[in-house]
A and B are shown apart, each in its own frame.
Chain A
Amino acid sequence: RKEVEQDPGPFNVPEGATVAFNCTYSNSASQSFFWYRQDCRKEPKLLMSVYSSGNEDGRFTAQLNRASQYISLLIRDSKLSDSATYLCVVNTYSGAGSYQLTFGKGTKLSVIP
């Protein structure tokens, strides 16, 4: 089973739509969770952390379900500038007091005028 699994998409949505991405992770010992955004031919950039209580940043809402080992990202009122690949990222203890990030392969979003 893959460690972090995402639907690769692409998700093609009209401007103004609401779109949701899901992600599952296999390691129940995972400690913290993130969504990264990666534009075409650019580096990944941290979009937001994901907390157990859920968190919101403007039009973006992230949710975590530890029991189901499931993470989600909701984007409301999609903008053309939201077009990118969204990477689900999990931080897991790797021994000797350290943690390591594991990246999903990403979900591609295209927002259409």
Chain B
Amino acid sequence: DVKVTQSSRYLVKRTGEKVFLECVQDMDHENMFWYRQDPGLGLRLIYFSYDVKMKEKGDIPEGYSVSREKKERFSLILESASTNQTSMYLCASSLFLYKEYGYTFGSGTRLTVV
């Protein structure tokens, strides 16, 4: 089975800090995604990547950036954390961005910005 690992389960950061959320997958998937999930708002796509060094904005990229230097690793960066970025962050990967395939998610990072 594909394993998607997120580096931290829970994280508390201060307003203004630069925050790195790491995600690693072990099945050589081309495609990786970062979502945030908030009550009543569902899953919202922040950024995704089709390949190394490639990135595409999702629906809510403001305040975030990403890095994909290696195929297995996709990092989400909060340049200057704010309280409205308190959320559950979910990383996902998929073998093909093709119609038959769903995504495999990591277990999530619950980030609190104080």
Contacts and interface: CB of A to CB of B under 8 A. Distances in A.
Interface of A: 31-32, 34, 36, 41-46, 49, 87, 89, 91, 93, 97-101, 103-106
A44 B107 contact: no
A49 B97 contact: no
A100 B43 CA distance: 13
Contacts of A104: 42
Interface stretch (B14-22, B65-73, B79-87, B98-106): B98-106
B42 A44 contact: no
30 contacts: A32-B99, A32-B100, A41-B110, A42-B107, A43-B105, A43-B107, A43-B108, A44-B43, A45-B105, A46-B102, A46-B103, A49-B100, A87-B42, A87-B43, A93-B99, A98-B50, A98-B98, A99-B97, A99-B98, A100-B45, A100-B48, A100-B97, A101-B103, A103-B42, A103-B43, A104-B42, A105-B40, A105-B41, A105-B42, A106-B42
Nearest to A36: B102
Contacts of A34: 102
B90 interface: yes
A31 B99 contact: yes
Return the 9 tightest CB-CB contacts between A and B, nearest first.
Answer: A105-B42, A31-B99, A98-B97, A43-B105, A32-B99, A103-B43, A46-B102, A34-B102, A99-B97
A4 B42 CA distance: 11
A49 B43 contact: no
Contacts of B106: 43
